[in-house]
Amino acid sequence: MGVVIVNFKAYREGFGKRAVELAKIADNVASRCDEYIGIAVSFLDLPVIVKEVGIDVYAQHIDAVDFGSHTGRINAEMIKEYGAKGSLVNHSERRLKLADIEYNVSKLKNAGLTSVVCTNNIPTTAAAAALNPDFVAVEPPELIGSGIPVSKAEPEIVENSVKAAKAVNSSVRVLCGAGITTHEDYIKALELGAEGVLLASGVVKAEDQKRALEELVGLI
Ligand code: G3P
């Protein structure tokens, strides 16, 4: 069983009512396949979606702060209170300082939540693995949203990121992402040693989101 995390980002097709619909699609597909399917949704949609689906729901980001005088911030304990499974950390579109990545990984762990630290290349994947998150997800930024799958266009980045991460921390789980769209892209990622994929546009922006996710996990 591989891991598939669908990041709804701030796409209109993955926000509000459409996010709830897409979450239900993901929940339904997950119930019919062997893969683990999780979703990463907007803060605004998260409390609604966790009540509507059985699959794990992640935040797309958290701030490296505790409770206190931090205007407009959301921390690990807050997303826990609303039923999140965990959070992406340091996504390419929401980069953090090293100290803040470490803070978030440790806060998520202390809260019993899952951390998915995003990285952009092999050295940063090794560095992130050293912080002992649950997952690292390597995503070359130039391929994000391109439809060109990292697992085919840059297989050596996936393969060597897995090796580098495992050399530092044998228990960390490695995902890859950027341009992943088809079942073939997904299988190739698994063949390269990744435990799964983090993806967005291939499903969220698809004309038929249900069909896209079914195809990705090999149901059709
Ligand atoms: O978080 C997933 C992401 O950055 C990859 O995006 O659209 O290339 O699947 P996409």
Per-residue pLDDT tens over the stretch 108-149: 999 999 999 999 999 999 999 999 999 999 999 999 999 999
* Cβ of 161 below 6 Å from ligand 1: no
* Cβ of 180 below 6 Å from ligand 1: yes
Q: Which two tokens stand for residue 138?
A: 């390597």
DSSP β-bridge partners for residue 118:
137
| Residue among 92, 84, 90, 168 nearest 131 (CA) | 168
Kindly list the domain boundaries of the chain, sorted by start residue.
3-216
Q: So what's the pLDDT on residue 1?
A: 87
* Cβ of 56 below 6 Å from ligand 1: no
Q: For ligand 1, pick from 201, 209, 216 the residue to mutate: most ligand atoms within 8 Å of CB.
A: 201
Residue 188 CA to residue 149 CA, distance in Å, equals 10
Backbone angles phi, psi at 20, to 5 degrees: -65, -45
8 Å CB contact between 186 and 4: yes
Q: For ligand 1, pick from 151, 180, 181, 182 the residue to mutate: most ligand atoms within 8 Å of CB.
A: 180
pTM: 0.98
Write out the catalytic residue numbers. 91, 139
Residue 9 CA to residue 19 CA, distance in Å, equals 10
Q: Which amino acid is at 181?
A: T
Q: Which two tokens stand for residue 195?
A: 């435990």
* Cβ of 200 below 6 Å from ligand 1: yes
8 Å CB contact between 159 and 188: no
Residue 53: partners with Cβ closer than 8 Å, 6 or more residues away: 23, 24, 26, 27, 39
How much of the chain exceeds pLDDT 90, in percent? 100
Q: So what's the pLDDT on residue 213?
A: 98
CATH top class, domain 3-216: alpha beta
Residue 67: partners with Cβ closer than 8 Å, 6 or more residues away: 75, 77
- With a cut of 50, list the residues of the chain below it in pLDDT: none
